[in-house]
Amino acid sequence: MLSKPQKIFSKSGIPSKYYEMMQNILELEDSVKKLDDNQIQAKIVELKKEYNSKPDNKNSVVKSFSLTREMAWRKLGLKHFETQVVGGLVLNDGKIAEMKTGEGKTLVATLPACYQALSGKGVHIVTVNEYLAKRDKELLQNLYNSLGFSVGLVSEGMENQERQYNYACDITYTTNAELGFDYLRDLIIDSKNNRVLRDFYYCLIDEVDSVLIDEAQTPLILSNNLEIPGERYTKAIWAANQLVPNRHFSLKPRTKQVVMSESGLDLLKEIFQTSNLYDPKTPWIGFVENALRAKFFFQKDQDYIIQNNEIQIIDKFTGRIAKGRKWSNGLHQAIECKENVQISGETQAINSITYPSFFKMYEKLSGMTGTAKTSEKEFQQFYGLDVLVIPTNNPMKRIDHKDIIFETKKAKFKKVVEIIQNSYWQGRPVLVGTTTIEDSEILNQMIRDCNISPQLLNARPGNADIESLTVAESGLLNSVTIATNMAGRGTDIILGGNIKFLLTDFIKELVYGIINLIPQNNYMITCGLADFEDLLKDFYQLVKNYPIQSILNYFENIGDIESHVPQTTLDFKIRELYFIMKNASTNKLIDIKNLIQKLGGLLVIGTSRHESRRIDDQLRGRSGRQGDPGESYFIISLEDELLQTYNPNIFKPFQGLNRTDSFSGADYFALSRAINLLQEDIEKLFYENRKSSSSFEEVLEYQQYRYFFFRNCLLDYEDTPNLFLNLCSLTTNLTPINNNLYSDNLFAYANSLDNLILKNFSLNSQSFLYFSYIIALNLRFIYGTSFIKAFWRIVQKSILLEMDEKWVEFSERISLSKDTIGLQVYAQKDPLQEYKRKCEQEFRNFILELQKLIVKKVVLMNLHSLIFLGFRF
């Protein structure tokens, strides 16, 4: 007969090799248990040798996993479950492991991280926000260190040196944005010593679908500011308001585009008194199209909010403010103008990269998330990443109900409030998801009108700042939480409350009480204070003796008290109090948890379907963690944004009746089917968009890669004679190291072009180079290497500066031509092929221009040196 885990794995479709390896790892448990910490470290040193002679060897993987598992038990009190070991093996193999919320992905990551760290090339663990990176690093630091691995954290605001230090660690926790921008900054350094990143070896992305799919089309852009007169935006808005929809222009909501008609263009020419609306100096057409897009497609509190007199974009998938992100090509400024806030300067990109291209640079890439299966095709086609669904450790008990569909939003909200009220009076926690801030606020008010005080979590400042705590409190008795998509990822919702958060928050408030107020928080409400009064008084006296700043620093730098490794006496005291209180309240929390389980667990209500099923699944997935009971409903209406934006016509026959009850019978069947199909259609549309835009992006990224490769070669020269000799051959090396980065055709094509670039290098310049080489050798002989090196460094900086300026102009020209290339369709040509051809041609000229620039600068430098020498003699 099959054992329980065997049954689970055989049903899940996980290849049997993983099951067998997992068994081997578990079998080693008894022998590794006998080793002390030092002996385990010694084994790790042996494994490092094994890794270097034979990476990814099955036996070494098994040994490394079993050692990590044992150390996790000793240092964290957590032993990887069988499912977690299998998840770790899948990740170690460079695949995507779909593991449901609460299955312990943070711990799973330690298994492949420790194995791949044996390489010494650095492991990057990427999370979607800083809070998670910091939390995970803190939590796992002790485990990694005990195995002999160093662990680092790279976060916002760090100086270069700190970044270098942290990236040099065996394992580095950071966010996708930090990593991407560090890469872009590394490309434009003017001294090798400033480079922060090293190898792109093994990378594990947490919430991989969020990074590689949801954010795939939003490139990271490193930019300069440009001066554009603000009045242009005002004029454009005025002009846009003179245009009549469907006469002067038509709208394409799916792609958020505006198409001008002939009569529209004529009217604009008249308004702006110009015959050329596309004049590169003042391209009025772009300004007006942006004004129209700002007016019709971008709405306040849905697509953005206004904070500190600035437009802040709301990320459609996470519901969070997308910090520092701006819409490009003047759209952001058009929206600023529409909202009458200060118009920010437009920017000019120095370099940019999309997450897909960035992460493809890793030799081994893997990822984990609760929701990947529905995007399996995309992961496979774009990244060559297989998705394996890891079974849950305990069977899933959540009940996912069929959608309830109403005609109007009003009727929908009424039903939602009714269900919330019912649950609230029973004490059962409810989490309500909305897709817009506006909806979250409407619901918040409706619930308050029923004398219930919900927690509100949306991108507005103040709400978002306490996100983790709010989510942690969503599992409390009697809690009602209304959240935009942002509650979908990150913090664990535990029935009865997440004690780590509640208690950390409580002690924080207690300590801060020295500075201002009396503690009043959810932990007290849940667990009461009576038992701890004396203890708290003593503690209160104790912390009074510490400088306020050290207390503030402590709380600012920790995720939660439990995960923080104590260093100072204050840390130890706080930790001691934490554990006394935690132990004392454990039974109470277990009682509450049991009660909530009896009530059916966390109830999740979605109030609108999202453009992607994955995001809907994320919301549902907040309930039913680790075998808990749970329930989810989607209560939607035909007036919802999604249905109205993408295909309002199919729902028209069911509208206008003002019915207050939900649809049923044949109507329900037809509607439910139509909505599902629509969602699938939208997913396909987005997928196709990503595919086509990535093909275009790839071309520019390829040129970028080659330019910066060229630039790096230049940076590597410390002296001029060698540079002169090798300058020509710089171009031969322009082909990327990792051929897989680009589609084969493009790669082959570019390869042949590189040879052409070399041949085209003029003879004239060659003899010039030779001449310069002789002078440089003489200079070195007379003045010594260090003098020449210092001189070269000055010239090198000036060359790099000028080269980068030329690169910015070039890349701007290339990306602009992408927008016009669409017209080639009319000329019966394939736009992508045309674009590639054009780019390669321009790139060739560009490189020639750079070569001339370098020769000129270096020769001039030598002449200057000669003059300098002349003066000396």
Annotated binding-site ranges for ATP: 84, 102-106, 492
Q: Pick the stretch among 79-87, 326-334, 561-569, 792-800 that binds ligand ADP (CB under 6 A).
A: 79-87
User: Cβ–Cβ contacts within 10 Å for residue 587, how many?
Assistant: 10
Q: How far is the CB of 320 from ligand ADP (least distance, A)?
A: 18
Of the listed pieces 101-109, 181-189, 576-584, 609-617, which binds ligand ADP according to CB under 6 A?
Answer: 101-109
User: Can you say whether the dihedral through the CA atoms of 166, 172, 177, 183 is positive or negative?
Assistant: positive
> CA 759 → CA 49, 54, 681, 727, 852, distances in Å?
46, 42, 50, 13, 14
Distance (Å, whole) CA 792 – CA 797: 9
Q: Are 557 and 508 in contact (CB under 8 A)?
A: no
User: In angstroms, rounded to a whole number, what is the distance separating the alpha carbons of residues 266 and 849?
Assistant: 41
Alpha carbons 33 and 38: distance in angstroms, whole number: 12
| Nearer to ligand ADP (CB atom), residue 206 or residue 289 | 206
Alpha-helix runs per DSSP H in 473-547: 499-512, 522-527, 533-544
Which residues partner with 801 through β-bridges? none
Residue from 6, 23, 24, 79 in contact with ligand ADP (CB under 6 A): 79
Q: Is residue 107 a contact point for ligand ADP (CB under 6 A)? A: yes
Task: Tell me if 78 contacts ligand ADP by CB under 6 A.
Answer: yes
Minimum distance of ligand ADP from residue 744's CB (angstroms): 38
Q: Which of 391, 356, 357, 361 is nearest to 375 (CA)?
A: 356
In the complex, the smallest distance separating the C-beta of residue 368 from ligand ADP, rounded to whole angstroms, is 8
Q: How far is the CB of 624 from ligand ADP (least distance, A)?
A: 12
Closer Cβ to ligand ADP, 103 or 611, answer by number: 103
CA gap 186, 809 in Å, rounded: 20
Q: Using CB atoms within 10 A of its CB, is residue 166 exposed (0-12), middle (13-18) or buried (19+)? A: buried
75 vs 293 by CB, closer to ligand ADP: 75
Describe the crossing of helices 58-76 and 130-147 by its angle, rounded to 10 degrees.
Answer: 100
Q: C-beta of 62: minimal distance to ligand ADP in Å?
A: 18
**Half-sphere CA count of 392, side-chain side, radius 13 A:** 16
103 forms part of the interface with ligand ADP (CB under 6 A):
yes
CB of 109 to ligand ADP, least distance (A): 9
Tokens of 695: 């093909």
Q: Name residues contacting ligand ADP, limited to 111-150 (CB under 6 A).
A: none
Q: Which amino acid makes up residue 468?
A: S
Nearer to ligand ADP by C-beta: 219 or 370? 370
Distance CA(811)–CA(828), nearest Å, equals 26
Q: Radius of gyration of the chain from Cα atoms?
A: 30
Q: How far is the CB of 61 from ligand ADP (least distance, A)?
A: 19
From candidates 9, 51, 65, 81, binder to ligand ADP by CB under 6 A:
81
Name the minimum Å distance from CB 36 to ligand ADP.
23
Judged by CB under 6 A, which of 5, 88, 94, 102 binds ligand ADP? 102
N- to C-terminal Cα distance for the chain?
96
101 binds ligand ADP (CB under 6 A): yes
Q: Which region, judged by CB under 6 A, interacts with ligand ADP, from 105-113, 258-266, 308-316, 803-811?
A: 105-113
Segment interacting with ligand ADP, rule: CB under 6 A, options 95-103, 418-426, 463-471, 860-868: 95-103
Q: Which residues are annotated as a binding site?
A: 84, 102-106, 492
CA separation, residue 855 to residues 364, 771, 793 (Å):
39, 11, 15
Alpha carbon distance 136, 332 (integer Å): 35
The nearer residue to ligand ADP, 78 or 853, going by C-beta atoms, is 78
Tell me which stretch binds ligand ADP (CB under 6 A): 98-106, 503-511, 532-540, 574-582.
Answer: 98-106
**Contact residues for 584 (Cβ-Cβ < 8 A; gap 6+):** 527, 531, 532
Candidate segments 80-88, 326-334, 338-346, 679-687, binder of ligand ADP by CB under 6 A: 80-88
Q: 3-state secondary structure string, 262-280?
A: HHHHHHHHHHHCCCCCCCC
Among 43, 75, 80, 293, indicate the residue that binds ligand ADP (CB under 6 A).
80
Q: What is the 3-state secondary structure (H, E, C) of 90-131?
A: HHHCCCEEECCCCCCHHHHCHHHHHHHHCCCCCEEEEECCHH
d(CA 831, CA 834): 5
CB 127, min distance to ligand ADP, A: 10
The edge-to-edge listing of strands for the beta sheet with 364-369 is: 151-153, 171-175, 123-127, 202-206, 364-369, 96-98, 387-389
Of 9-17, 104-112, 329-337, 643-651, the window that binds ligand ADP (rule: CB under 6 A) is 104-112
Instruction: Pull the structure tokens for residue 241.
Output: 């308001």
- Residue 343 · residue 230 · CB < 8 Å: yes
Task: Give the binding-site size for ligand ADP (rule: CB under 6 A).
Answer: 14
Smallest gap from residue 23 Cβ to ligand ADP (A): 17
Write down the H helix ranges in 4-98.
4-12, 16-27, 29-33, 37-53, 58-76, 82-92
Please say which residue, 92 or 436, places its beta carbon nearer to ligand ADP. Answer: 92
- Out of 70, 492, 628, 698, the only residue in the binding site for ligand ADP (CB under 6 A) is 492
Compute the least distance from the CB of residue 139 to ligand ADP, in Å.
8
Binding letters toward ligand ADP, positions 553-582, x by CB under 6 A:
------------------------------
Work out how close the CB of 59 gets to ligand ADP at its nearest, in angstroms, rounded to a whole number: 24
Closest CA to 844 of 706, 713, 724: 706
The one among 94, 104, 600, 606 contacting ligand ADP by CB under 6 A: 104
- Using the rule CB under 6 A, is 105 a contact of ligand ADP? yes
Using the minimum distance from each CB to ligand ADP, give the nearer residue, 315 or 628. 628
SS3 249: strand
Structure tokens at 323: 């910090």
Sketch the per residue contact string, 788 through 827, with ligand ADP: x for CB under 6 A, - otherwise.
Answer: ----------------------------------------
* Nearer Cβ to ligand ADP (302/626): 626
Q: In the set 106, 129, 357, 851, which binds ligand ADP (CB under 6 A)?
A: 106
Q: Between residues 163 and 625, which has the closer beta carbon with respect to ligand ADP?
A: 625
C-alpha to C-alpha distance for 10 and 215, rounded to whole angstroms: 34
Tell me the closest approach of the beta carbon of residue 75 to ligand ADP, in angstroms: 13
Binding mask 373-412 for ligand ADP (x = CB under 6 A): ----------------------------------------
| CB nearer to ligand ADP: pick between 350 and 487 | 487
Tell the smallest beta-carbon distance from residue 558 to ligand ADP (Å).
16
- Tokens in use for 211? 């990074």
**Where on the chain is the footprint of ligand ADP (CB under 6 A)?**
78-81, 84, 99, 101-107, 492
